[in-house]
Amino acid sequence: MHVDTAPAGRTAHPRDGRPAPTWAVRAAHLIPLVTLPSGLWRLALVAGVPIGASAFGEPVHLGVGESVYIVSLSLVSELLALLSLGLVQPWGEVLPRRLPLLGGRRVPPAFAVTTATAGAVAVTLIFGYAAWGVVVKGNDLDFSPAGFALLVACYAPLLLWGPLLLAVTAAYRRRRCRD
């Protein structure tokens, strides 16, 4: 039975409101968790926690601008990762009512699929390239061995972000788009 969740005067699309597969919900919840270790590593760097980081043998000293950038990067990446939940939750099907002009309207599935696919490809390329650089260059910043191991352990989960997002996007497309 289909429940009409559309705003007054509008009819919901017949494919809206269908539940996402359990595996896709789990994968979408995993995405913010794979981005968390690198964000925590960056926050520890800004806070001056001794994590074995050095720049060419010298202790890392960050200026205010660098600190703001690093904290912002951590927050933005975590917020973008949390957006993946919109691909498996009902709130991702209708724009929030508080948005001027667009509030209460259905999220166009093609827009969500295109945006999420582009994001998945982008993070796959970015973190794949970064991983390749670590393999080729190794510990070129002269981190302590333990510090370098911590860096790799915190950033390696980011390699899962793109593939997980692509899988969740494919499930969203099957659920919300007409074939």
pLDDT at 140: 75
Coil/strand/helix, residue 137: helix
**pTM for the complete prediction?**
0.83
Coil/strand/helix, residue 54: strand
Residue 14 DSSP code: T
pLDDT at 4: 45
Query: Which portions of the chain are predicted below pLDDT 50?
Result: 1-11
pLDDT at 58: 65
Can you tell me the distance from the alpha carbon of 16 to that of 32, in angstroms, rounded to the nearest whole number? Answer: 24
The ranges assigned to domains in the chain are: 22-93+106-176
Can you tell me the distance from the alpha carbon of 167 to that of 93, in angstroms, rounded to the nearest whole number? Answer: 18
